[in-house]
Structure 1
């Protein structure tokens, strides 16, 4: 049974103005491009999938798409939020903005903390690419659920054992259709993703 879009962590949300800064325009462009390619969107039941984030400077804070925004082809600043604090071991985040953070925010947080050189992450869905890439690139164990501390630990294992830092693309074996890419910036994360999917 698919539980996409379900937030599994504790979310401490403060309603506030939309995020600002030099990182937002590029983030908005990449998000809308991935939506136009069908990698971010909604399922037939209306549940949204896919999200994208960018680190703010050298901090562990990041801007990420809000939960349940997958149905919108073009997002505005009010559809993004800033994750200001988190603890993946204790399964909570704090976010500030017009909307709550995506259900995958804890996964993004764990990667940013574990890999300081990573500054952008794109998490997308596509059934065929997911099947094609499964175990051809670093893949999490099927029994590990998304958005949990167990997923964070599983990703760390892949960094250590399967050269994930070099491949920069990860398939979530237990998260139907889901996979993610990352990079030093949004351009690298996006181009790696489109290269594996043979999309432009």
Structure 2
């Protein structure tokens, strides 16, 4: 896995105010649960992963965790960013917020664009899931690509289709749902499945 060097796009702040949405509290809850269950491990003081929800059906705008969040952050509205648009050609992300959005914001944007049924996209890291993806029948990208890159986005697009759970090779997982609860529970279920399989293999 590549070391974190920050976001790899330009952030254009349309408004320097934190987003206002009552659902941010639910997203914060899932951030805490992912941390508790080892789905967003902490490396050098920051949580590895990013969670988002779509603002409204028919719109590709979404609210996502800010870049560089760690377990010590309060997860108040200032810790989240509203992504209004992404310009792929110039690698520019247009936002409302006081912090830069997560490094995988363009990936989230493309998933919402391609999957209008997706209302939440949760990206995390768990070695048990990634190591046993093949045995569990989880769709994987063909090869490793650097985090936050357009190459990674394209590799996900190649295998996205109607899959709600997939693994980015040697990177992490993506869980997609019609709600935050659905995306979150799906990730927790896959972790349990992977742990059961890991236990069986370990006993052989």
Offset of 1:174 from its aligned partner?
Answer: 4.3
Q: 1:139–1:128: structure 2 CA closer, same or farther, 3 Å change rule? A: same
User: Which residue in the other structure is 1:193 paired with?
Assistant: 187
Deviation at residue 6 of structure 1 after TM alignment? 2.8
Q: 1:20 to 1:71 in 2, by over 3 A?
A: same
Aligned length: 191
Find the residue that maps to 1:133 and give its secondary structure: coil
Which residue is equivalent to 2:3?
3
Equivalence for 1:138: 139
Tell me the distance in 1 between the aligned counterparts of 2:105 and 2:52: 9
Change (3 A) 1:153 1:97: same
Separation in structure 1 between the aligned mates of residue 60 and residue 119 of structure 2, nearest angstrom: 10
> In the TM superposition, what is the alpha-carbon distance from 1:134 to its structure 2 partner?
5.0
SS at match of 1:102: coil
For structure 2, the 5+ residue unaligned runs are 194-204
User: Which of 183, 187, 193 is residue 177 of structure 2 equivalent to?
Assistant: 183
Task: Give 2:92's aligned residue.
Answer: 92
- Alpha-carbon displacement from aligned partner over 1:12-56 (angstroms, at most 9, x marks no partner): 23562221123222111111111121212421x334311100000
Aligned residue in 2 for 1:107:
107
CA displacement at 1:153 relative to structure 2: 2.1
Change in CA separation of 1:120 and 1:94 when aligned onto 2, cut-off 3 Å: same
Q: SS of 2:17's equivalent? A: coil
1:1-200 pair list within 5 angstroms: 2-4=2-4, 6-14=6-14, 16-43=16-43, 45-58=44-57, 59-72=59-72, 74-133=74-133, 136-160=137-161, 165=162, 167-175=163-171, 178-198=172-192
Report if the CA contact (8 A) 1:5-1:103 is conserved. no
The separation in 2 between residues aligned to 1:22 and 1:47, in whole angstroms, is 25
Q: In terms of Rg, which structure is larger?
A: 2
Change (3 A) 1:185 1:89: farther
The superposition leaves residues 144-172 of structure 1 with CA deviations (integer Å, 9 ceiling, x where unpaired) of 22322222222221134xxxx2x411111
Q: CA RMSD in A?
A: 2.1
